[in-house]
C-alpha cells in the first residue's frame, strides 16, 4: 500500500486493513455493477451474497466506491444499502475518478476505477461480472472501454465471465492482445460470453487451477511486465442461457440504444437495463449466478497468492 496516498484519500475498512497487513487474501469488488448494472433491491442483495461467497472461500471482500470524495476500500452494511438506492452517484472510470474525489462527489467504480483503487490499497485480485470492451460499431463511434487499457497498465488480476455479446468480442480480444494483456480461460478453450459458457472464439491461453493462475501472476510481476491479467471463468452449465437465445434480445437492445441517441458512458448502463426489461428480468438470475462463481474463484486465487508469499 502507498501509505502517503492511502492516508490522504483512502478509508480502508478495519477488517480489510488487518487482512492486508497480515498478508491474508483480499478480493476487491466493484460498485458500478450495483448502481448502474442491476436494479434495486436485487443489487444490494447480490452485493451482500457476493461478499459472503468471498468469505466462504477464505478471503476478505472489499467492495470499493467513492462516498463524498473518499475512496472507500470495503463498505459497511449501511453504506452498501445507501449506495444501492442513492441518486447522484457518478459512474467513475479512470477519467472521472479524480474529479469525484476533488469535488467530494459520490461515485461507483467501474472495472477500470476499481483496479486503480484496489492497487492503491495493495489488493491484487478483483472479481466482477463482465468487463467493458470494444463496442459494436467502433468503426464510427470509437467506443472502447477504458477497462481494456487499465488491464494493460495496472497490476490487478480481474476474474470475469468473459464479456457480453453486446460488445464486439473478436475486436475486444484483439485489443487486449495488442495491449499485452494475458487472457486466461479457466478450465476452458473457448472465450466465455457472460450468460453463455462458450462463444465461437478460442480463448488465447488456458489454465486449470487457481495455483497455476497465481503462478502466472507472480511470473508476470517477476519479469517486470506491468499490467494485469484477465481470467475468463465460464458460468456453470446449470445457470447459463445459450448464446442463440440471447442474440435477438441483444440486437433489439442495441437498436433501442441507437434510436435513443445514447453515447459515451451512458451506453453500457442503458444496454443493460434495456436487456433486463426485454428478457423480463430473466437475464438477472444468470448475472447473479456468474458473479458469485467469479467471486469464489477470485477468493481461491487470492488465497493461493497469499499462501505462496506468506
Q: Which residues bind ligand PSU (CB under 6 A)?
A: 30, 32-33, 37, 93, 110-111, 129-130, 132, 145-147, 164, 265, 268, 272
Whole-number Å distance between alpha carbons of 92 and 107 = 6
Tell me which of 24, 51, 164, 220 is the catalytic residue: 164
What's the CA angle centered on 234, arms 229 and 237, to 5 degrees?
A: 170
β-strand partners of 73: 12, 64
Nearer to ligand PSU, 31 or 57 (CB): 31
Nearer to Mn ion, 167 or 184 (CB): 167
User: What is the number of the residue whose Cβ is closest to Mn ion?
Assistant: 143
Which letter does DSSP use for residue 139 in this model?
Answer: H
Q: Is 231 annotated as a binding residue?
A: no
Nearer to Mn ion, 94 or 105 (CB): 94
- The entry of Mn ion, ligand PSU, none near residue 84 (CB within 5 to 8 angstroms by kind) is none
Report, in Å, the least distance between residue 265 CB and Mn ion: 6
In total, the chain counts a number of residues equal to 310
Give the range of 136-144, 161-169, 205-213, 217-225 binding Mn ion by CB under 5 A: 136-144
Nearer to ligand PSU, 208 or 277 (CB): 277
Nearer to ligand PSU, 172 or 304 (CB): 172
Q: Is 283 annotated as a binding residue?
A: no
Given CA atoms 43, 45, 167, 93 in this order, what sign does their dihedral have?
Answer: positive
Q: What is the DSSP string of 99-132?
A: HHHHTT-EEEE-HHHHHHHHHHHT--EEE-S---
Query: Nearest to residue 161, comparing CAs of 202, 129, 126, 208?
Result: 129
What's the CA angle centered on 32, arms 26 and 35, to 5 degrees?
A: 120
Query: Is 147 an interacting residue with respect to Mn ion (CB under 5 A)?
Result: no
Taking residue 177's Cβ as centre, other Cβ atoms within 10 Å add up to 12
Nearer to ligand PSU, 38 or 302 (CB): 38
Tell me which of 30, 51, 150, 240 is the catalytic residue: 30
Report, in Å, the least distance between residue 166 CB and ligand PSU: 8
Q: What is the DSSP string of 47-74?
A: HHHHHHHHHHTT-EEEEEEEETTEEEES
Report, in Å, the least distance between residue 91 CB and ligand PSU: 7
Q: Is 111 annotated as a binding residue?
A: yes
- The entry of ligand PSU, Mn ion, none near residue 185 (CB within 5 to 8 angstroms by kind) is none
Q: Is 199 annotated as a binding residue?
A: no
Query: Is 143 an interacting residue with respect to Mn ion (CB under 5 A)?
Result: yes
71 in Cβ contact with 120 (< 8 Å): yes
258 carries an active-site annotation: no
Question: What backbone phi and psi angles, to 5 degrees, belong to 29?
Answer: -130, 145
Q: Is 91 annotated as a binding residue?
A: yes
Q: What is the DSSP string of 285-307?
A: HHHHHHHHHHHHHHHHHHHHHHH
Place of cell 494485469: 228
Q: Is 146 annotated as a binding residue?
A: yes
30 carries an active-site annotation: yes
- The entry of Mn ion, ligand PSU, none near residue 130 (CB within 5 to 8 angstroms by kind) is ligand PSU
Residue ranges at the known binding site for substrate = 91, 111, 145-147
Residue ranges at the known binding site = 91, 111, 143, 145-147
Question: Which residues in this chain contact Mn ion in the complex, by CB under 5 A?
Answer: 143
- Active-site positions read 30, 164
Residue ranges at the known binding site for Mn(2+) = 143
Amino acid at each position: 500500500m502507498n501509505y502517503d496516498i492511502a492516508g490522504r484519500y483512502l478509508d480502508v475498512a478495519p477488517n480489510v486493513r488487518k487482512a492486508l497487513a497480515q498478508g491474508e487474501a483480499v478480493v476487491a469488488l466493484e460498485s458500478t455493477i450495483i448502481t448502474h448494472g442491476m436494479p434495486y433491491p436485487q443489487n444490494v442483495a447480490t452485493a451482500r451474497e457476493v461478499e459472503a461467497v468471498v468469505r466462504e472461500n477464505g478471503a476478505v471482500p472489499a467492495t470499493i466506491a467513492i462516498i463524498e470524495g473518499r475512496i472507500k476500500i470495503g463498505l459497511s452494511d449501511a453504506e452498501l444499502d445507501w449506495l444501492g438506492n442513492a441518486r447522484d452517484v457518478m459512474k467513475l472510470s479512470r477519467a472521472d475518478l479524480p474529479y469525484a474525489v476533488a469535488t467530494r462527489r459520490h461515485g461507483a467504480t467501474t472495472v477500470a476505477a476499481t483496479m486503480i483503487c484496489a492497487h492503491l490499497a495493495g489488493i491484487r485480485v478483483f472479481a466482477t461480472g463482465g468487463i467493458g470492451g470494444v463496442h459494436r460499431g467502433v468503426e464510427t463511434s470509437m467506443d472502447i472501454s477504458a477497462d481494456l487499457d487499465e488491464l494493460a497498465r495496472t497490476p490487478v488480476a480481474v476474474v470475469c465471465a468473459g464479456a457480453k455479446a453486446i460488445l464486439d468480442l473478436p475486436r475486444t480480444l484483439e485489443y487486449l492482445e495488442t495491449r499485452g494483456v494475458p487472457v486466461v480461460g479457466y478450465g476452458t478453450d473457448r472465450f466465455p460470453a457472460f450468460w453463455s459458457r462458450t462463444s465461437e472464439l478460442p480463448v488465447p491461453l488456458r489454465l486449470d487451477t487457481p495455483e497455476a493462475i497465481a503462478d502466472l501472476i507472480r511470473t508476470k510481476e517477476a519479469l517486470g511486465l506491468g499490467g494485469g491479467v484477465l481470467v475468463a471463468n465460464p458460468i456453470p452449465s446449470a445457470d447459463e442461457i445459450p448464446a442463440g437465445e440471447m442474440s435477438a434480445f441483444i440486437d433489439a437492445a442495441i437498436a433501442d440504444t441507437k434510436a435513443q441517441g445514447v453515447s459515451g458512458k451512458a451506453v453500457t448502463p442503458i444496454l443493460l437495463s434495456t436487456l433486463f426489461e426485454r428478457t423480463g428480468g430473466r437475464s438477472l438470475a444468470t448475472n447473479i449466478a456468474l458473479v458469485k462463481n467469479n467471486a469464489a474463484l477470485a477468493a481461491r486465487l487470492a488465497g493461493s497468492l497469499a499462501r505462496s508469499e506468506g
